[in-house]
Amino acid sequence: MPEELLPKQFAPYVPRKGEAYMSGRQKAHFRSILETLKAGLMQDIERTVHTMQDEATVFADPNDRASQETDIAIELRNRDRERKLIKKIEDTIVLIDSGDYGYCSGCGVEIGIKRLEARPTASLCIDCKTFEEVREKQIAK
């Protein structure tokens, strides 16, 4: 999953004085970010499929064949992560349409513009996310 989700061509959102949280302008900003990110991921997946079809070579040497299979497995694992991210982006766009985007699904408070720009698919505020990570760490022990 890409760590820097905010595509480079988007400038950080600067709210107008007195602008309400998740105004139409803000929703349009985040929808644009999400749709651009989704389109880029779809292109990467398409490019991988074509590359794998073009490079489908049968090697006689077992070491070469094993190396190729490992490369393919890693690539497929990455594409699976991207496929899951695309699903999350689509779910987030549904939240924008329903008016629930930008609010924590855990406690209902505003997530915040800066956090959403860092992670446009965020559904938890920083406090709820921190609590969730602490709980996961405790359960894993």
Domain of 87, CATH number, reads 1.20.120.910
**Residue 10 domain-assigned?**
no
Q: How far is CA 26 from CA 75, 90, 95, in A?
A: 35, 18, 13
As for how many domains the chain has, the answer is 1
**Residue 47 domain-assigned?**
yes
Domain that holds residue 110: 24-140
Average pLDDT over residues 22-26: 94
Average pLDDT over residues 115-122: 94
Give the Cα separation of 19 and 17 in Å (integer). 6
Query: Is pLDDT above 50 for 103?
Result: yes
Give me the chain's average pLDDT, please.
87
